[in-house]
Structure 1
Amino acid sequence: MPLSVFSLLLVVFSLTTGEFVIAGILPDVAAGLSVSVASAGLLVTAYAIGMIVGGPLVTLATARVARKPLIAGLIAVSMAGNLGSALAPNYALAVVSRFVAGLVVATFFAVAIATVVSMAPPGKAVSTIAKVTMGLNLGIVAGSPLGTVLGHHLGWRATFGAVAVVSGIALLLVLRFVPPQAATGSVRGELRVLADRDVWQAIGLTVLGNVGVVTVFTYIAPLLTGVSGFSSELLPVLLVLYGVGAVAGNYLGGRWADKALLPSLAWMLAALVVALAAAWLGSPAKPVMAVLVFVLGMLAFGIVPGMQARVIAAGSSAPTLAVAVNASGFQLAAAAAGLLGGQVISREPRSIYLLAAVLTVAGLGIALYALRRERASTDSRR
């Protein structure tokens, strides 16, 4: 892996760890800030709102800034947000710090992906994207557990401080190895891309294609312990198994999408529907669920590189804003997942798998429609 790509992967790792690690230290944060756990949970909401709002606004505000200094500036803002979280003397400043930390994430993803695509060898764009998005997998699988352990031993403030330090190391690597590139474009050019129906179709594919499996992951702990009967001691092992599947899926999904973007997305979404339905039917059987945990992780992250590439292809004239809005759309999917799953988990937890399968069918429908249009366009040119 080129060091230029690795440096961006390391940033993604730190950002993902900073986003998800709070789940493991939430009671410690609540105690440290003298608030309830429910109030501490709003720190997660503040981060998500920062991403949703910051995606389009920060991208438009920085459209004329050259990519390398823009990336460096975005990392610096994220570091400031995490340092602010570590040093916050009260709850209000902690909320503001989490909002600031999330504010630049969607724009960073957009600019980083556009940067690695421009550096990718011919025919390897999606697999190069997959190398950067592997930072997502590693942040969930390794960064969040390590940050939780660090928080339990040295205090929750040390966790956010460590995230800032890793971001600082990544910033030094970015400054050394990422080549200079021109600015993304003009504000008018970026806004024009949002009038393209194909861009919104690609964003819709991301939202609907992910909301189902994100719903399952949000409630995976009570599903595996309460429905499948796994002990709480085995839960970390199963989450690692999910993470291993995610890393494998991210790698393979990028390679498959390089060869055939929309066909690979369509069949992976179809396989995801089948896997979710199988989980609904087989959730009481532990051996079946152990296998499906790996499969769900693989398919959930196998579709990520291709979806990013689809947005870039649809918004090729100004891809940065399109990818940033796409990242904000994913956060909306995550918010919807928490809401929808919350309505089901208290009534019939097992039905979350069935709900997820039905939601994923909607994403599959968009993929099949886009594939049909692409093939019709190809046939008309012959």
Structure 2
Amino acid sequence: MNDVLLHTAGRVGRLVLNRPKVLNALSHAMVRAIDAALTAWEHDPAVATVVLTGAGERGLCAGGDIRAVHDDARDGDGTGAAAFWRDEYRLNARIARYPKPYVAIMDGIVMGGGVGVSAHGSVRIATERSRIAMPETGIGFVPDVGGTRLLALAPGELGTHLALTGAQIGAADALLCGLADHCVPSERVEGLIADLAERPVPDALARHVRPAPDGELARHREWIDACYTAGTVEEIVRRLLDHGDPAAKEAAHTLLSRSPTALKVTLAALRRARRLGSLEEVLDQEYRVSCRALTTPDLVEGIRAQVIDKDRAPRWSPATLAEVTDADVQRYFAPLGERELGLA
């Protein structure tokens, strides 16, 4: 059975991620299949629009195949994971620059690598079922697939909050943060795709776009912006704990359960991403960070605790924020020499 289903209908080229038992987690072979389809359709005048969806009822894509990354980091030399990320990040950049409308249906769960194949598209559709997140700090990793750029561009410090906590957001908050463009009720998605096959994208959207259900982030902006502007993760946690809002305290306790190293590297990566000019430059930076993460204990331990053994009790090393030095963080951004991604 193909893990990516490809077909054309009218003006549309359909990409369907087809691993529903693992919530359409992206494998290296799937990344290559998507890239090959985009090449074919870019040069096919019969295809006016590309539409990305996920098979099954639960969502578009839960992220990259982190079990494969875990096994390669634990038992191999990391070259398999690095090769996967190299092709995945190149695909993310390609989607962002694709010359035809790329319509991503972000229905249900969309996390990590799922954000990478959707949120860089030119038309991003959320639904009332959307649960969008970059939850990497919970597995000892750092937001990648261009996620640090997407979150760095969100208003105020909303992106910092989402990157550090890994919090899930719905359609309205995805629109607020710039991760989605439109909300279409899930019951209307098939009608939208059918219309895209027959008519231009704006005309099809006009028939199906509806207001998003109320979100949550807008009413939390005051404490999010006040707390996350701090210069260090330690100071962010202190401000969150000192703030009177119960949601701020809850965010602090979430941070204290995450990998201390991943939190500090994520904050540095986001702040650097704000200064970098292009998605390609950010992806080059993320590739350095990801490759470095392969050589550290927290990635293997985090995936073990969340996905393999599911005991939800990771033993981070170092175990506290105070033990993670500036030098530890800077090492993640060191150039890779001949192994650079080189997109920029």
The TM-score range, normalised by the shorter chain, is 0.3 to 0.5
Identify the structure with the greater strand proportion: 2
> When the two structures are superposed, what TM-score results if normalisation uses the length of structure 1?
0.30
Question: Larger relative contact order (C-alpha < 8 A, sep ≥ 6)?
Answer: 1
Identify the structure with the greater helix proportion: 1
> When the two structures are superposed, what TM-score results if normalisation uses the length of structure 2?
0.32
